[in-house]
Amino acid sequence: MRYNYAIELGGANTTIYARGQGFVLKEPTLVAVESGVEGYKVRAVGDEAKKLVWKTQDEVEVFSPIVNGVIENFEYAEFMVETFFKKVKFRRASNVLVLIPCGLKDEEKANYYSLFEKLGFNEVSLLPSVICSLVGHGVNILSPKASMIVDIGGMTTDIAVVNLGSIFKGVTLGIGGKGMDIAISNALAMAKDGVLIGLPTAERVKNEIGSLYKNDMLNMEVMGMDTNLNVPKTRIVSSKDVRHVLEAYMDEIVRTVNVTINTLPPEISADIIKNGVIFTGGVSQLTGLDEFLKTNLTYNFTISDEAANEPMIGAGKLLSDEALLGKILS
């Protein structure tokens, strides 16, 4: 069967890939909703909604209708996804491949089917994003040799062992880049010379000076509110101010990886020990992660060069290879 589109409703961004065109959309998975006398109405989605984060009146709320890979607000998720597809001038009655976390329950998967069927798609197929990531990484997904992948995304971290085209064992942790942003904001607010910053600024701190290197001296200036005096304040923030936050998240991920491998059958764990663990997802590009894993992970590993886009790179390959996609879906 020919699929025209692939889409991933990620914790940070929604990405759409069109067969024969490539990447056609990547925007934040966000909706801005305004309350009024006639009820609630959508003010913005995607890029335009992100511009309003921490910059709106009380009447406007900016949020993601997708939480930890689960459709939490069906109405706004439908509006957001339809808006995105209209931007790419999609053809109704097309077939769509939807990338999802590996830990969803049956009723949560059913909501995805309902959402895309309501949008007018003819055939809707769900596929764990980790499968697509492995395809994007160049792994022979149908091989009897097991592969292990750790996808650290915006809201969740998927850890999966895959062989013969399916997930042998998988777990979804409710931690990711957005949680790190919140933790960074809280850590800076609770410091002795505390400053309260918004989540967009916390994301900049993570991306620009966030580091797992013990001796990293990167720093940047941030502006926020003095938590002691409640007045505007400018402060220099250094990597060491937030390193403990990042380490706590990575410690939990590494712990889960070790536990997962230790509970595998000997034949499967032997494959993982030989082939190593693949790290992907936007947060896997965190400065110093390579050294951190060398110190804390007892297994070989690789960090993907295409981490942020690997699921969709794999999905694009599958859209072009109907035979391979058919085997995986069956």
pLDDT, tens digit (0-9, with 9 covering 90-100), for 7-27: 999 989 999 999 999 999 999
Among the listed residues 286, 281, 283, 290, the one whose alpha carbon sits nearest the alpha carbon of residue 310: 281
Structure tokens at 76: 């706004």
Region for residue 54 given its phi and psi (left: phi exceeds 0; alpha: psi -120 to 50; beta: otherwise): left
Q: Which amino acid is at 33?
A: V
Each residue's pLDDT tens digit, 80-118: 999 999 999 998 889 999 999 998 999 999 999 999 999
What is the structure's pLDDT at 98?
98
What is the pLDDT confidence band of residue 58, given thresholds at 50, 70 and 90?
confident
> Which domains are seen in the chain, by residue range?
5-29+64-133+310-329 (3.30.420.40), 139-304 (3.30.420.40)
Three-state secondary-structure class, residue 262: helix
The percentage of residues in the chain with a pLDDT greater than 70, rounded to a whole number, is 100
What is the structure's pLDDT at 103?
84
Q: Which amino acid is at 90?
A: F
What is the structure's pLDDT at 91?
86
Q: CA-to-CA distance for 256 and 261, rounded, in angstroms?
A: 9
Q: CA-to-CA distance for 138 and 122, rounded, in angstroms?
A: 30
pLDDT of 55 higher than 80:
no
Q: CA-to-CA distance for 323 and 314, rounded, in angstroms?
A: 14
Q: How confident is the model over 149-168, as a mean pLDDT?
A: 96
What is the structure's pLDDT at 187?
97
What is the structure's pLDDT at 74?
96
Q: Per DSSP, which regions of 179-242 are E strands?
A: 195-196, 219-226, 232-238
Structure tokens at 70: 């689960």
pLDDT of 209 higher than 80:
yes
Query: What is the chain's mean pLDDT, rounded?
Result: 95
Angle at 293 between CA 156 and CA 307, to 5 degrees: 50
What is the structure's pLDDT at 167?
96
- Identify the bridge partners of residue 61 per DSSP, sorted by sequence position: 33
What is the structure's pLDDT at 15?
98
Residue 266 in contact with residue 227, Cβ under 8 Å?
Answer: no
Q: Going by C-beta distance under 8 Å and a sequence separation of 6 or more, which residues neighbour residue 166?
A: 131, 328
pTM of the model: 0.94
Among the listed residues 3, 2, 6, 1, the one whose alpha carbon sits nearest the alpha carbon of residue 22: 6
Residue 40 in contact with residue 33, Cβ under 8 Å?
Answer: yes
What is the structure's pLDDT at 54?
78
Each residue's pLDDT tens digit, 34-48: 987 677 899 999 999
